[in-house]
Structure 1
Amino acid sequence: MKLKSLAQTFNYLILLTITTHLLLPKTLYAGSSSAVILMYHHFGDETPPSTSVTLEQFDAHLDYLQHHQFNVWPLSKLIHHWETNQLVPERTVVLTADDAYISVYTEAYPRLTARGWSMTTFVNSEPIDRGFGNFMTWQQMREMQAAGFEFANHSHTHSKMRRIEGETEAEMLARVRQEIDIAQQRLNTELGAENVPRLFAYPYGEYSESAANLIAEMGYISVAQVSGAVDANSDRRALNRFPMAVNFAKIEDFRLKVNTRPLPLKSVTPWDPIVGENPPTLTLELSKPVRQLNCFNSRGQALNMDWQTPTRLVIQSEQALRSPRDRYACTAPIGQGHWYWFGHLWVID
């Protein structure tokens, strides 16, 4: 079968690597804080496939989660369990949606409510205030909130959380602060400050380390748009989420992703996703050795991997990464149907 895009090639090769190891001896993974965060945008067939899942796909996702007895939590509940050192049950998934598009209300809301589940939606407040028809209204959000759904900050104008052309570092940080403050004020006013968690989703999934540090200093826990599972040790300046879109939301892909675990990492260097020299080098310090780890760029090409010690790995793509965003991804089998999955964002000017 001919693959339709390089992105599909990347996804296919990861799945192929994983399938190759399905017959390995099984070992029990004892996780106590891990979860998978999923990111949606549109629900339906009439919106861009790059940011949409079909209703058939979404129904299949929910059926799978229910049939396999997953715990479906809002993001604030997961964070609360981490911060209070409570165990997170096995098979815990967080559903999130970015931008507060109308289909979250018309399609996702009734489907989730029927199962007693909720979702965390990240809101860029300007289009809501301007009454754009493809977004939800504040009243619809209040209705959903009363049913247990939560809403959080996605900036006011959907502005990038990094320097843009002609902008100094100080100007960027001032803009970031203003964008987040305005959006939070609008959320607090419309939905009640006591009901709005200090959570933030990066517009376009882009950020610099200095912007991420500022946002953390402002009291927010942030989520990114890079595939990978999370646990209590994950960096809360940019928690990984699996993006759900037509080409990557088939049920076999979904099944794989919701059963992943975070790679046991001690450090990632550089953490800053802004690329200087292209292709960049990434150093991973693991908390324990991991067998059969494989790493890829977004083209699906294997990365050069230099194991300097059993727990120190240096990886680099042979080819320059593509602007404006790219990624490295690493996977390894754990056993019992679970896989480690780690993704690192790169932003290329």
Structure 2
Amino acid sequence: MRIVILFLAIFLSLLIKPAVAKAQTIDTSSAIILSYQRIDEETYTDTNTQLDQFLSQIDILQDEGFKIIGLPILVNAIKTKTPLPKKSVVITFDAGYASTEPALIKLLEKDIPFTLFLSLGAVSRDSAQYLSIESLKRMHSKFSNVTFALTAYNYARLNNEEAIRASINDSKTIYRKIFKEEPQYFAYPFGEYNDLYQTIVKEQHFEAAVAMHSSPAYSGSDLFALPRYAMSEEFANPDRFRLIINTKPLPVKAISPTNPALSSTTPSFGFTVQDPQYTKQIRCYISGQGEVPLTILDNNRVEIRLSESLNDNRVRLNCTAPTKDNKYLWFGRLFTLQQDALPELQE
């Protein structure tokens, strides 16, 4: 519910535009990564998208000139600093739920590329909730525009190095057995990671990893924490969808805290805007608190001091700035509170 309230606050505020900068120096070689989990599973409203909503979104992408590309194309473009097609979009699915099969079939029929981040511990147990190994093998052998990748939900908390390594290694072993190749891409479970988790993933020789914070991916993105917009039926209306797919990156640096796992319920957030012309137009939102006041230093440093403590394990920071063409630059981060930071939520 906090995520719903946060987005509504952002969406409504974007209807009232502040003055835009006179010049625009936007990184136009960017891509929107969309993350889906379940299709037509009404019990799971936070992660479910109705099939008709999903198909409507695909129609919007195709009818309005968007180019749906595979994740490998995006990763290669970031690595080599090469341009992407205008209005690029990447479609991903997390976990490998069986309910996604009707959506996958539609994409295959339309020859649209997508990526499956598979929770192979669950898939290998032959659960009816997940796509079968045989169906995955068939897709792998027949469709070259499907990227098979890895996620690992059976992990402890973020600071349990042994559990993280064991979870990834077990999943990689199953992946090799099914697909006869090495996995190249990884999705952090629920988008949650910290410095330790990211270091372990890098050591495992993945090409890239995706998280779950809202932002476009671009040449300055961290290849081992690529942003994605989480899709669900609550946010599936066409206006909201068009808002997302038309966003452009808001390039920032010197982000603090650097570690997305927080040790305090009253952290200080901050970042430096690479193009100062946008600084005065930025508006930022914290999940559970709505729009928050900003302190601007040296014309390009944005600092956020919370007036109240955080009260949830997952904390989203989203910052936007308007452009001349009625679109928005977007910078987001997903933070998690460590176990000892919110003991009352661990009971």
TM over 0.5: yes
In the alignment, structure 1 residue 52 sits paired with structure 2 residue 41: no
Q: Distance in 2 between matches of 1:22 and 1:10?
A: 19
How many residue pairs align between the two structures?
333
Q: 1:126 to 1:299 in 2, by over 3 A?
A: same
Q: CA deviation at 1:341?
A: 1.2
The answer to whether the 8 Å contact 1:230/1:240 transfers is: yes
CA distance in 1, matches of 2:156, 2:57: 30
**Corresponding residue for 2:96?**
100
Q: Deviations over 1:265-307 (max 9, x none)?
A: 1221212112222121111012111141000111352223111
1:204 deviates by: 2.1
- Which of 37, 40, 55 aligns to 2:36? It is 40
Residue 248 of structure 1 corresponds to which residue in structure 2?
Answer: 235
Deviations 1:139-193 (A, max 9, x none): 21122222221111102x5325602xxxxxxxx2222122112212211221131
Q: Which residue of 1 aligns with 2:196?
A: 210
Give the counterpart of 1:73 among 65, 69, 73.
Answer: 69
Instruction: Tell me by how many angstroms 1:336 deviates.
Output: 1.8
CA deviations over 1:215-268 (Å, ceiling 9, x no partner):
123222211112111112111221111100111222111110011112111221
- 1:340 matched residue in structure 2: 329
CA contact (8 A) 2:271 2:301 kept: yes
> Alignment RMSD, CA only?
2.0
Given the superposition, is the C-alpha separation of residues 6 and 181 from structure 1 closer, same or farther in structure 2, using an over 3 Å criterion? closer
Query: CA separation in 2, counterparts of 1:135 and 1:234?
Result: 31
Pick aligned residue for 1:150 from 147, 150, 159: 147
State the identity %.
26
State the alpha-carbon separation in 1 of the partners of residues 263 and 304 from structure 2: 16
**Residue of structure 1 in register with 2:225 after alignment:** 238
- Residues 265-280 of structure 1 correspond to what in structure 2 (within 5 A)? 265-280=252-267
Q: Please tell me the residue identity of whatever aligns with 2:162.
A: A
Residue 50 of structure 1 aligns to a residue whose secondary structure is coil
CA contact (8 A) 2:28 2:248 kept: no
- Please, which runs of 5 or more residues in structure 1 have no aligned partner? 164-171
Deviation at 1:21, TM superposition (A): 1.3
Matching residue's letter, 1:123: L
Shift of residue 6, structure 1, vs aligned partner: 3.7
1:259 and 1:339 in contact (8 A); partners too: yes
Q: Deviations over 1:43-97 (max 9, x none)?
A: 1154411110111210111010000121112212210122233211110011111
Q: Which segments of 5 or more consecutive residues in structure 2 lack a partner in the other structure? A: 340-347
Contact conserved, 2:265 with 2:311, CA < 8 A, in 1? no
Q: Which residue of the other structure, out of 239, 263, 269, is the alignment partner of 1:282? A: 269
2:26–2:249 Cα contact (<8 Å) kept:
no
**Structure-2 separation of matches of 1:297 and 1:54:** 27
**CA distance 1:269–1:80, shift in 2 (3 Å):** same
| Distance in structure 2 (CA, Å) of the matches to 1:31 and 1:308 | 24
Deviations 1:10-65 (A, max 9, x none): 11111122111188588666534311111100111544111101112101110100
Q: Aligned residue for 2:185? A: 199
Q: Does 1:261 align with 2:261?
A: no
Q: Tell me the TM-score normalised to structure 1 length.
A: 0.89
Quick one: which amino acid aligns to residue 232 of structure 1? Answer: S
- Residue 287 of structure 1 aligns to which amino acid in structure 2? Q
- Residue 187 of structure 1 pairs with residue 175 of structure 2: yes
- Within the candidate set 229, 239, 253, 2:216 is matched to 229
How far apart in 2 are the matches of 1:134 and 1:22? 47
Q: Which secondary structure does the structure 2 equivalent of 1:226 belong to?
A: coil
CA distance in 2, matches of 1:183, 1:333: 42
What SS is found at the alignment partner of 1:204?
Answer: helix
For the residues of structure 1 that align with 2:21 and 2:106, how far apart are their CA atoms? 38
For 2:252 and 2:203, the matched residues in 1 are separated by 23
TM-score by length of 2: 0.90
